Structure 1
Amino acid sequence: MRLKDVAGQLGLAPSTVSRALNHPEMVAAETRIRVLEAVQKARYQPDRIARSLRIRQTSTIGLIVSDILNPFHAELARTVEQAARQRGYTVIFGNSNEEEEQERDYLETFVSSRVSGIILAPSGNSSETLRRMVDQGIVVVQVDRLTPGLEADAVLLDNSRGASLAVTHLIDLGHRRIGMIAGPQHLTTGKERLEGYKSTLLAAGLPYNPDLVYVGNFRESGGYEGTRALLSLPDPPTAILTANSEMAAGAVRALREANLVIGKDISLVTFDDTRWAQYMLPPLTVVAQPVEEIGRTAVDVLFRRLERRTSRSTIYTLQPYLIERASTGRPPR
Structure 2
Amino acid sequence: MPTMKDVAALAGVSTATVSRVINQNAWVEPATRERVEKAMRELNYRRNAAAMALATRSGAMLGLLTGNLADPFFARLARGVEEVARSQGVRLMVSSGGHQASMEKAGLDFLINQGCEAIVVHASRLADDELLRYAAHTPAMVVVNRYIAALSHRCVWLDNRNAAYKATRHLLDRGHRCIACVTADLPIDDRQQRLAGYQQALREAGVTPQPGWVISVPFNEEGGERAARQLLESPSPFSAVFTFNDVMAAGIMRVLHQHGVQLPQQLSLVGFDDVVLARYLYPALTTVHYPVERMARRATQLALQLADNGTPKPGHNGFCAELVLRDSVVTLAHGNRK
**Equivalent residues of 2:117, 2:138 under 8 A apart:** no
Q: Amino acid of the residue matched to residue 80 of structure 1?
A: V
Q: Amino acid of the residue matched to residue 53 of structure 1?
A: Q
Partner of 2:169: 168
Distance in 2 (alpha carbons) for counterparts of 1:150 and 1:225 = 37
TM-score relative to the length of structure 2: 0.81
Mapped pair 1:46 → 2:46: no
Equivalent residue in structure 1 for 2:4, among 22, 47, 66: 22
Distance in 2 (alpha carbons) for counterparts of 1:245 and 1:120 = 23
Following TM superposition, by how much is the alpha carbon of 1:47 offset from its aligned partner in structure 2, in angstroms?
4.5
Cα shift readout 1:138-168 (whole Å, capped 9, x = no counterpart): 3211112345765661111111111111111
**Equivalent residues of 2:16, 2:113 under 8 A apart:** no
Distance 1:48 1:253, change over 3 A: farther
Cα shift readout 1:38-72 (whole Å, capped 9, x = no counterpart): 566x7786254343237223401110111112211
Map 1:132-211 onto structure 2 (within 5 A). Answer: 132-146=133-147, 153-184=154-185, 186-211=187-212
Report sequence identity in percent. Answer: 27
Distance 1:330 1:296, change over 3 A: same
Distance 1:232 1:149, change over 3 A: farther
Distance 1:226 1:235, change over 3 A: same
Following TM superposition, by how much is the alpha carbon of 1:310 offset from its aligned partner in structure 2, in angstroms?
4.8
Number of residue equivalences: 303
Partner of 2:77: 76
Cα shift readout 1:288-320 (whole Å, capped 9, x = no counterpart): 0112211111112213323222599x9821111
Q: Amino acid of the residue matched to residue 141 of structure 1?
A: V
Partner of 2:297: 296
Q: Amino acid of the residue matched to residue 263 of structure 2?
A: I
Following TM superposition, by how much is the alpha carbon of 1:98 offset from its aligned partner in structure 2, in angstroms?
1.1
Structure 1, unpaired ranges of 5+: 1-18, 25-31
Distance in 2 (alpha carbons) for counterparts of 1:78 and 1:22 = 36
Distance in 2 (alpha carbons) for counterparts of 1:50 and 1:311 = 31
Distance in 2 (alpha carbons) for counterparts of 1:216 and 1:146 = 24
Distance in 1 (alpha carbons) for counterparts of 2:181 and 2:328 = 15
TM-score relative to the length of structure 1: 0.82
Q: Helix, strand or coil for the counterpart of 1:46?
A: helix
Distance 1:152 1:305, change over 3 A: same
Distance in 1 (alpha carbons) for counterparts of 2:18 and 2:206 = 56
Distance in 1 (alpha carbons) for counterparts of 2:141 and 2:245 = 25
Following TM superposition, by how much is the alpha carbon of 1:204 offset from its aligned partner in structure 2, in angstroms?
1.3
Cα shift readout 1:187-229 (whole Å, capped 9, x = no counterpart): 1111111110001110111113242001222222222212221
Distance in 2 (alpha carbons) for counterparts of 1:81 and 1:46 = 29
Q: Amino acid of the residue matched to residue 22 of structure 2?
A: R
Q: Helix, strand or coil for the counterpart of 1:262?
A: coil
Structure 2, unpaired ranges of 5+: 26-54
**Equivalent residues of 1:70, 1:245 under 8 A apart:** no
Map 1:77-96 onto structure 2 (within 5 A). Answer: 77-96=78-97
Q: Helix, strand or coil for the counterpart of 1:142?
A: strand
Partner of 1:309: 311
Partner of 2:56: 56
Q: Helix, strand or coil for the counterpart of 1:155?
A: strand
Distance 1:228 1:21, change over 3 A: same
Map 1:175-324 onto structure 2 (within 5 A). Answer: 175-184=176-185, 186-306=187-307, 307-310=309-312, 316-324=317-325
**Any runs of at least 4 consecutive aligned residues in structure 1 with deviations exceeding 4 A, and if so which?**
42-45, 126-129, 147-152
Distance in 2 (alpha carbons) for counterparts of 1:43 and 1:280 = 49
Q: Amino acid of the residue matched to residue 257 of structure 2?
A: R
Distance 1:237 1:268, change over 3 A: same
Distance in 1 (alpha carbons) for counterparts of 2:184 and 2:149 = 17
